[in-house]
Amino acid sequence: MQRNEDGGIVISCDFCGTDWDEVKPMIEGHRGSVLCLECLKLARPKLAPSDTAFECRLCIQEKPAGTMSWSGTAIGGAPAARVCKPCVEQATRAFTKEGLEV
């Protein structure tokens, strides 16, 4: 996600809130959403069916309850962002292509 701070735009991971330092590997989704490599590493072994319907933060598609997905940390009182399995797989391919260990 993006926020304004001291007149500049700060980009941070939607799933853990870590600010992007322009070095950390991150994947951009729709509407300025961001998933960092550390969250992807957490998400991959923990994909599970969701209890409720949700909108995937990266592909912004509505997903029904029971969709394999992973939820990040709630940041600043907002509900935790959830990412669907296809997005996790796509991010995995993208990071792998960049030569990163996922």
Binding residues for Zn ion, rule: CB under 5 A, are: 13, 15-16, 36, 39, 56, 58-59, 84, 87
Residue 6 Cβ, how far from Zn ion at the closest point, in Å?
22
Closer to Zn ion by CB, 7 or 10: give it.
10
Residue 89 Cβ, how far from Zn ion at the closest point, in Å?
10
Task: Please enumerate in sequence order all residues whose Cβ is within 8 A of that of 6, keeping only pairs 6 or more positions apart, or say none.
Answer: none
Closer to Zn ion by CB, 39 or 70: give it.
39
Residue 84 Cβ, how far from Zn ion at the closest point, in Å?
4
Closer to Zn ion by CB, 56 or 70: give it.
56
**Are residues 16 and 40 in contact, defined by beta-carbon separation less than 8 angstroms?**
no
Closer to Zn ion by CB, 71 or 84: give it.
84
Whole-Å CA distances, 99 to 40, 43, 61, 74, 75: 15, 19, 28, 30, 30
